[in-house]
Copies of this chain bind each other. A is one copy, B any other.
């Protein structure tokens, strides 16, 4: 397995801000973005043809080992936001995704971030990413990158 980064393959998913996601500052609580990042990588994996549900069904999980988030602007109830996700790194035992959250209406960048994951089995023990999962992620990333490239050109 090679160590690869395929930043050319962003996948975008949109969602409406839920009232319950706001806090008394009148904006979305910062923990909400961490859940949006998760929605982003779930959407990325689905678009890449390796849905996370199938990873879970195979008895594996991509446990989160690190989260980084930088908050630049607020989002509010009523806003539609976009989560743009990229596969930042794919190794034999680790995956890293990067994220950009934008206001859909004016494309303001609200937050950027990344998440690092290791592969664990059902009892939480660290394992190699099973080869079929690794390959489907890699193939999917290349296919998404190609599709994006076609769209742009």
Contacts and interface: CB of A to CB of B under 8 A. Distances in A.
B61 A25 contact: yes
A56 B20 contact: no
Q: Which of A25, A29, A64, A124 has the most CB of B within 10 A?
A: A25
A12 interface: no
A55 B22 CA distance: 16
Contacts of A67: 30, 34, 67-69, 71
Interface stretch (A3-11, A35-43, A86-94, A101-109): A35-43
Contacts of A16: 39, 42
Interface residues of A, number: 38
Nearest to A115: B30
Interface string A131-145: 000000000000000
Interface of A: 16, 18-20, 22-27, 29-31, 34-35, 38-39, 42, 51-53, 56, 61, 63-72, 74, 76-78, 124
20 contacts: A18-B42, A19-B38, A20-B29, A22-B23, A22-B24, A24-B26, A24-B56, A24-B76, A24-B77, A27-B124, A30-B64, A31-B34, A51-B78, A52-B77, A64-B71, A65-B70, A65-B71, A66-B70, A67-B68, A68-B68
